[in-house]
Amino acid sequence: MPKRFRLTRRLPIAVTEDAYRRLKRFSQDAGLDEGEALSFLFENFDAVTDDENLAHRLRQFNLELDARKR
């Protein structure tokens, strides 16, 4: 029997404009609202990411983070 889908946690999050636009586009393409889309991405994180690409992108993001905060 499938688990009942309930959004039980609410997170106050801050994202960049680019990240928000990408989340909106993904959720609309998938027919989900933003919370459902985030739940899907995190519940299936290993399946939707490539470990090597993720590590590279994370290093790149961290290198640019200080400049982006200014």
Residue-range domain boundaries for the chain: 17-69
What's the whole-model pTM score?
0.75
53: left (phi over 0), alpha (psi -120 to 50) or beta: alpha
For residue range 28-65, list pLDDT tens digits in order.
999 999 999 999 999 999 999 998 899 999 999 999 88
